[in-house]
Amino acid sequence: LQNAEQMGEGWSDFFGVLLTIEPGDTGTDSRAVGTYLFGQGQGGAGIRDYPYSTDMGVNPQTYDFIKTAAVPHGVGSVWAEMLWEMTWELIAIHGFDTDFYNGTGGNNISLALVTEGLKLQASQPGFVDGRDAILAADMAMYGGANQCAIWEAFARRGLGYSCLLY
């Protein structure tokens, strides 16, 4: 992961926020990580520049942000935001399932796609490599059923085209 677009911090943040989603949560909620480091409660600002949220007013990060973001934490948080965007796109389509082990909701699909994508991407991946590995994982696992949702989510954060253009 020793490159300008290393995403390691992003994956760890993503798994943390994904596995702590609760019924009633929404993508536009503000989800900070590392609040415990500052003695903050759940509503604290946390350790990243922005909390995770699909609301661009709460988290405006796009692919363009990595030009000036610190490596690894700042760059990683942009990657995690893209994965968070994808997760909520999939939840909007497939629903949320509280069973993280056997569930079939969008959160389960997101977890499976990101995990399989990790296995499919090349060594020292960048953002495009990571996105493309997730798209390949969707083809392998779900027959490409989520291609448009994945493209739309990444496009909103500046990493690709909308589904209508791919």
Per-residue pLDDT tens over the stretch 66-83: 999 988 888 999 999 999
User: Is-contact 5 69, C-beta < 8 A?
Assistant: no
Tokens of 81: 């935001």
Residue 140: the pLDDT is 98
Q: Is residue 18 scored above 70 in pLDDT? A: yes
Q: Give the rounded percent of residues in the chain with a pLDDT score beyond 70.
A: 98
Look over the chain and give the mean of its residue pLDDT values, rounded to a whole number: 93
Average pLDDT, integer, range 45-56: 92
Q: Is the Cα dihedral 153, 162, 151, 91 positive or negative?
A: positive
* 101 three-class SS: coil
In percent, the amount of the chain with pLDDT more than 90 equals: 77
Per-residue confidence band for 119, with pLDDT thresholds at 50, 70 and 90: very high
- For residues 138 and 111, give the distance between their C-alpha atoms in angstroms, rounded to a whole number: 11
Q: Is the pTM of this model over 0.85?
A: yes
48 vs 96 pLDDT, higher one:
96
Cα(75)–Cα(7) distance, integer angstroms? 7
Q: Is the pLDDT of residue 165 over 60?
A: no
